[in-house]
Amino acid sequence: MEKRTNVWKIISIVFMSLAVFFFLITLVMSALYIVSRQNFNQWTATNAMQDRTIANKKKEIKRLKLYDRIRNGSGSYDDWYSDPNNKIKQYIFGESAELASGEEVTVTGVKTVSNTKMKETSDGDQKIALTVSVKNTTRNMIQFSPQDFYIYDRTFDIADLSDYAANEKIPETIEPGKTIDVKIYFTISKTSPYIVNFGNAYWVPQSAYQKKSRSV
């Protein structure tokens, strides 16, 4: 009788050990699946950011070629605005634009910061700071770069992006649902008013918009 009891005890211990073993295996496999899924999502998000960056660079190359033609007298801004692929949208400083690439961008304004010490500036250059708010409305991480913003003066000359950041760390990515507020610094030869461009969205000051409306 005692031997039978010992046998059942051994069998119970074996079954309990196997149960614990399979439980641990299940935990390990679940952890591996979660990690692999996160890596896959990150890989997918990275590829999407790279595709978006390539698309933006292609658009910028086309835009720069057009500006070069305009400066050389062989083209006009009507060529740009009449292009059916350029779905231009105009906003006033303070308004938000929802872009197809997933950003909700709000340009607060452009201010002169003449007392700011920037390197490699020429005499007579205007030092300006662009204040923007960018929200990621997608479910994936998106890339952020100050180089995606452009500022033009009243003669459509392009401002030069400065590496000055006023001790602020500008993030390179934006998490899903998150919003960042940043200041981006530029130098430009002429004074305001300025036009801000991101993607197919353009922002103008309220005063410039009212003046244009009265002239129409």
In this prediction, residue 95 carries a pLDDT of 95
Each residue's pLDDT, cut to its tens digit, for the chain (216 residues) gives 555 566 666 777 767 777 777 777 777 777 666 656 665 555 555 555 555 555 555 555 555 555 555 445 555 444 544 555 556 788 999 999 999 889 999 999 999 988 888 776 777 788 999 999 999 999 999 999 999 999 988 777 889 998 887 777 889 999 999 999 999 999 998 887 899 999 889 898 887 554 443 333
CATH number at residue 143: 2.60.40.1240
| Reported pTM | 0.62
CA angle 160, 60, 155 (to 5 degrees): 50
Domain, as residue range, for 57 = 1-86
In this prediction, residue 54 carries a pLDDT of 53
Contact 187, 126 (CB under 8 A): yes
In this prediction, residue 207 carries a pLDDT of 72
Note whether 37 and 126 are same-domain residues: no
Q: Which of 52, 86, 120 is at the close of a domain?
A: 86
Backbone angles phi, psi at 175, to 5 degrees: -70, 155
The answer to whether the Cα torsion of 47, 48, 49, 50 is positive or negative is positive
Per the structure, how many domains does the chain have? 2
